[in-house]
Amino acid sequence: MNTGAFLIKKDFFDADEVKEIASLAVALEQGKSNVHESGKYQSIQWHKVDLAPEDHPFAARIYEFLGAEKNGICVFYYLSPGAVLHPHRDLTGASSNARLRFHVPIITNDKVHFNVSKARVIMSPGELWALDTSFLHEVRNESEETRVHVVIECQVNGEVKRHLPAKNLHGRVHDLYFVSILGFSFLKSILVNVWKDPKYFLAQMQMLKKFVAWRVFGKKDVK
């Protein structure tokens, strides 16, 4: 089993619902923005449109099904034709940080390659998937259409855990490994960006400040 990605529900949205959500995603695409406004990922054709669950019942339905708090990312993610997200790991949707990302593909095809732990994961339209971003993952859109997913990120509370397999010894060893490489990578990135990209360095420090305030002190609104 690919321990970085889990199929939660195969037909979370039926074909008619997927078609309706896809029409909305296309209509909203003109208002999209870069997922990364600065840094080395700025040039990637990867965009987002923020979604408010209270305004979009399909998004609220994901939260309600999972029993999750509405306290994180809730977006349409657009990956343009030819765009590549190289192998990487993330902190924000990592189970070792008590958070996960949940994907529902809306517009996709068999030329979109989503790999987790170097194994291909085929996500079909309407399916609800959990992605642990602490595992190595990458995406390549080799098709001629923009790939669109609904993505939410939330805290893994007791209700969310009911939908996930129990973390075994392999998962706990992975958490230790992830924390060690994260610390090394973050330190390296800071040292490089201090002189190479000061603007991105300051953005990193702001993200670190928010993360520590949130995870250590429980503060959510830190400027």
Domain ranges of the chain: 5-161, 169-215
The structure's pTM equals 0.79
pLDDT at 26 over 90: yes
The strand pairing partners of 102, in sequence order, are: 130, 152
Per cent of the chain over pLDDT 90 is 58
Q: Counting Cβ atoms within 10 Å, is residue 39 exposed (0-12), middle (13-18) or buried (19+)?
A: middle
Rg (CA), the chain: 17
Q: Which residue has the tokens 């993505």?
A: 151
**Contact of 32 with 150, CB cutoff 8 Å:** no
210 pLDDT higher than 70: no
* Phi, psi for residue 211 in degrees, rounded to 5: -65, -45
pLDDT tens string 125-163:
999 999 999 999 999 999 999 999 999 999 999 999 999
Instruction: Say if CB 56 and CB 179 are below 8 A apart.
Output: no
Band (110; pLDDT cuts 50, 70, 90)? very high
Determine the CATH number of domain 5-161: 2.60.120.330
What are the pLDDT digits (tens) for 3-16?
789 999 999 999 99
Kindly state the tokens that stand for 112.
């979109």
| Residue 165, pLDDT above cutoff 70 | yes
State yes or no: pLDDT of 216 exceeds 90.
no
Of 90-94, 115-119, 209-213, the poorest mean pLDDT is in 209-213
pLDDT tens track for 29-82: 999 999 877 666 667 799 999 999 999 999 999 999 999 999 889 999 999 999
Q: Can you give the pLDDT at residue 97?
A: 79
Has residue 166 got a pLDDT over 60?
yes
Q: What percentage of the chain reaches a pLDDT higher than 70?
A: 80
148: which 2 tokens? 């669109």
As to burial, measured by CB atoms within 10 angstroms (0-12 exposed, 13-18 middle, 19+ buried), residue 130 is buried
Residue 141 three-state SS: strand
190: left (phi over 0), alpha (psi -120 to 50) or beta: alpha
Q: Is the pLDDT of residue 181 over 70?
A: no
Highest average pLDDT, of 87-91, 179-183, 206-210, comes from: 87-91
Q: Does 1 score more than 80 pLDDT? A: no
Q: What is the mean pLDDT of the chain?
A: 86
